[in-house]
Amino acid sequence: MKNNIDLSGFSKLNYIERLNKLQSEQILSESDVHYLMSGGLQTFDLGEKFVENLIGYFQIPMGVATNFYIDGQHYIIPMAVEETSIIAAASKTAKWVREHGEIKTEVIGTDIIGQIQFAKVKNFAAFEEQVLRQKEYLVGLVNKEVAYGMVERGGGVSRITVRELKRDDGFSMAVVHVYMNPCDAMGANVINQVCEFLKAPLEEFTAERVTMCILSNLVDSKLTKATVTINNIDLDLAYKIEEASRFAELDAYRAATNNKGVLNGIDPILIATGNDWRAVEAGVHAYAAREGRYSSITKWRVIGTKLVGELIAPIVVGTVGGVTALHPTAKMSLRMMNIKNAEHLSRVVASVGLVQNLGALKALTTVGIIEGHMKLHVKNLSLGAGATEKEMPFVVKKLEEILTLRKRISMSHAIEVLNDFRNKSSNLNP
Ligand code: MEV
């Protein structure tokens, strides 16, 4: 893929022109274009492998966000999403960032977490001592017997810790945490097998009973950080964005919506690349509440003449195994972004989430969200009201006028405008 992608005017192109443009920019191959034009996945064999009782596929629109320049590399971001204006807002904001600032990313930590629960232990101190005494042996054993594939790739189980949870009946619950570097896999299957395997030796060493074991989606031991800087920004705008950020940091009601906006950028890439977006969502929300109060996962501050934003969250994704490796659209999406490994993907995902958040905060503190949202929605309302291809330009134009005038628009407006147009047309051509 080239490093100076020129997609100016991309949104004005029609469907075929868009595909041709992406092919000429070497983002899509000839066979990708053929695959997309034929409607994507056609056979049911693959679906049968993923789910039970398959009856078909649910087609979500997939578009590309343009203008992303992350850590000195250009990206065209595939996004599978049904909500109008997300891709447009991401592309527009990414352009602003590219022209006036930068996006930098890093991954902090390598390990995912598995949990083994001992619901009620007789003596927590004795339990802890036993586990910690055996921890080196257990790590070696499980790496040899279960996680050897990870070890070969430079990962594997790294450590075991013990936590005490105080029960309301006065007893202690003990939880063993198992940390593992899953390399480029999301690692869910392996960490679950690791925990299952450790059950027997842990029960033997501690003389306690395991209740259950499963991975944790709150992966605070592997966090992805994205930082967006806008240089020489209009300070009035910058302070408005900072205040909007403070609102989400302080108030859970606002934080939920703020984080939803961040996930507007994150989920569509996870879907396009075949990743488990429910796992990432759960992790992001749990991390947002890590201090005992649900808060924002992004933070914007004015620093001198700059606006600096930061997102830190567990974004555990995979680039090998599962749907990612099997679904042709997922494989194509990874190729489009030239993704090298799981960390690379998580850094791109975090960047898009943060840029999406910036776009939303900028709109909310200036023109408001209705304008961008509804302008794009006008077309959908016109279609929903039943406008034909011929009637569309008139209905869209009229609805845009109403929107500018009244600052709101609904399906009843669309129906009214369409009926009016039809009445006028029938009067002209009785
Ligand atoms: C809408 O899908 C997302 C926003 O509500 C996000 C936000 O309020 O920050 C606009």
Report the chain's mean pLDDT, rounded to a whole number.
94
Q: Whose CA is nearest to atom 9 of ligand 1?
A: 258
Model pLDDT for residues 121-158, shown as the tens digit of each residue: 999 999 999 999 999 999 999 999 999 999 999 999 99
* Structure-block tokens of residue 404: 């500018």
* Structure-block tokens of residue 81: 């999403």
Element (H, E) at 108: strand 101-108
The pLDDT of residue 1 is above 60: no
The pLDDT of residue 2 is above 60: no
260 is catalytic: yes
* Structure-block tokens of residue 288: 């947002």
Residue ranges of the domains in the chain?
Answer: 10-108+222-366, 112-216, 374-428
Inter-residue contact 203 to 209 (CB < 8 Å)? yes
Percentage with pLDDT > 90 across the chain:
84
Inter-residue contact 167 to 173 (CB < 8 Å)? yes
Q: Whose CA is nearest to atom 3 of ligand 1?
A: 261
Question: Right CATH number for 374-428 from 1.10.8, 1.20.1300, 2.40.50, 1.10.540?
Answer: 1.10.8
The pLDDT of residue 375 is above 60: yes
User: Ligand 1 centre from 166 Cα, in Å?
Assistant: 38
User: Ligand 1 centre from 278 Cα, in Å?
Assistant: 19
The pLDDT of residue 374 is above 80: no
d(CA 240, CA 165): 42
Q: CATH classification of 10-108+222-366 is 3.90.770.10, yes or no?
A: yes
373 is catalytic: yes
Does the beta carbon of 360 lie inside 6 Å of ligand 1? Answer: yes
- Measured on CA atoms in the order 394, 398, 404, 409, is the torsion positive or negative? negative
d(CA 261, CA 372): 14
All residues at 6 or more sequence positions from 286 whose CB lies less than 8 Å from its CB, including other chains: 217, 218
Does the beta carbon of 257 lie inside 6 Å of ligand 1? Answer: yes
User: Ligand 1 centre from 411 Cα, in Å?
Assistant: 21
Model pLDDT for residues 187-236, shown as the tens digit of each residue: 899 999 999 999 999 999 999 999 999 999 999 999 999 999 999 999 99
d(CA 223, CA 315): 7
Bridge partner list, 214 = 115
Q: Whose CA is nearest to atom 4 of ligand 1?
A: 261
In one-letter notation, the amino acid at residue 357 is N
All residues at 6 or more sequence positions from 347 whose CB lies less than 8 Å from its CB, including other chains: 70, 71, 105, 106, 107, 224, 226
Inter-residue contact 255 to 288 (CB < 8 Å)? yes
Q: What are phi and psi of 60, to 5 degrees?
A: -100, 135
Q: pTM for the whole thing?
A: 0.88
Question: In angstroms, what CA-CA distances link 329 with 59, 142, 340, 416, 422?
Answer: 12, 35, 17, 41, 42
pLDDT of residue 330: 96
* Mean pLDDT, residues 49-60: 94
Does the beta carbon of 268 lie inside 6 Å of ligand 1? Answer: no
Please provide the CATH number assigned to the domain covering 112-216: 3.30.70.420
* Mean pLDDT, residues 277-295: 97
Question: In angstroms, what CA-CA distances link 2 with 27, 37, 65, 66, 90?
Answer: 8, 23, 17, 14, 21
- Exactly one of 32, 111, 208, 276 is catalytic; name it: 276
Model pLDDT for residues 56-84, shown as the tens digit of each residue: 999 999 999 999 999 999 999 999 999 98
User: Ligand 1 centre from 373 Cα, in Å?
Assistant: 10
d(CA 187, CA 107): 17
User: Ligand 1 centre from 258 Cα, in Å?
Assistant: 6
* Mean pLDDT, residues 337-359: 97
DSSP classification of residue 61: P
Q: Residue 4's pLDDT band (boundaries 50, 70, 90)?
A: confident
d(CA 418, CA 427): 14
- Exactly one of 17, 83, 204, 243 is catalytic; name it: 83
Task: Tell me the pairing of strands 101-108 and 223-230.
Answer: antiparallel
Q: Residue 185's pLDDT band (boundaries 50, 70, 90)?
A: confident
The pLDDT of residue 264 is above 90: yes
pLDDT of residue 428: 77
Model pLDDT for residues 11-44, shown as the tens digit of each residue: 999 999 999 999 999 999 999 999 999 999 888 9
* Mean pLDDT, residues 389-408: 88
pLDDT of residue 217: 97
By C-alpha distance, which of 294, 263, 423, 269 is closest to 356? Answer: 263
In sequence order, what E strands does 122-171 have?
156-166
Task: Tell me the pairing of strands 212-216 and 172-181.
Answer: unpaired
Does the beta carbon of 264 lie inside 6 Å of ligand 1? Answer: yes
413 is catalytic: no
The pLDDT of residue 184 is above 90: no
pLDDT of residue 380: 84
Inter-residue contact 364 to 391 (CB < 8 Å)? no
pLDDT of residue 84: 86
By C-alpha distance, which of 101, 183, 8, 105 is closest to 352? Answer: 105
pLDDT of residue 334: 97
Strand order through the sheet with 306-313: 73-80, 62-70, 101-108, 223-230, 306-313, 298-303
Q: Residue 351's pLDDT band (boundaries 50, 70, 90)?
A: very high
When mean pLDDT is compared across 7-21, 281-295, 341-355, 373-387, the lowest value belongs to 373-387
Q: Whose CA is nearest to atom 6 of ligand 1?
A: 261
Does the beta carbon of 369 lie inside 6 Å of ligand 1? Answer: yes
User: Ligand 1 centre from 75 Cα, in Å?
Assistant: 24
pLDDT of residue 430: 67
User: Ligand 1 centre from 271 Cα, in Å?
Assistant: 19
pLDDT of residue 405: 85
The pLDDT of residue 3 is above 90: no
83 is catalytic: yes
Task: Tell me the pairing of strands 306-313 and 223-230.
Answer: antiparallel
* Residue to substitute in 264, 266, 361 for testing ligand 1 pocket (most ligand atoms within 8 angstroms of CB): 264
pLDDT of residue 241: 98
Element (H, E) at 9: none
* Residue to substitute in 263, 299, 369 for testing ligand 1 pocket (most ligand atoms within 8 angstroms of CB): 369
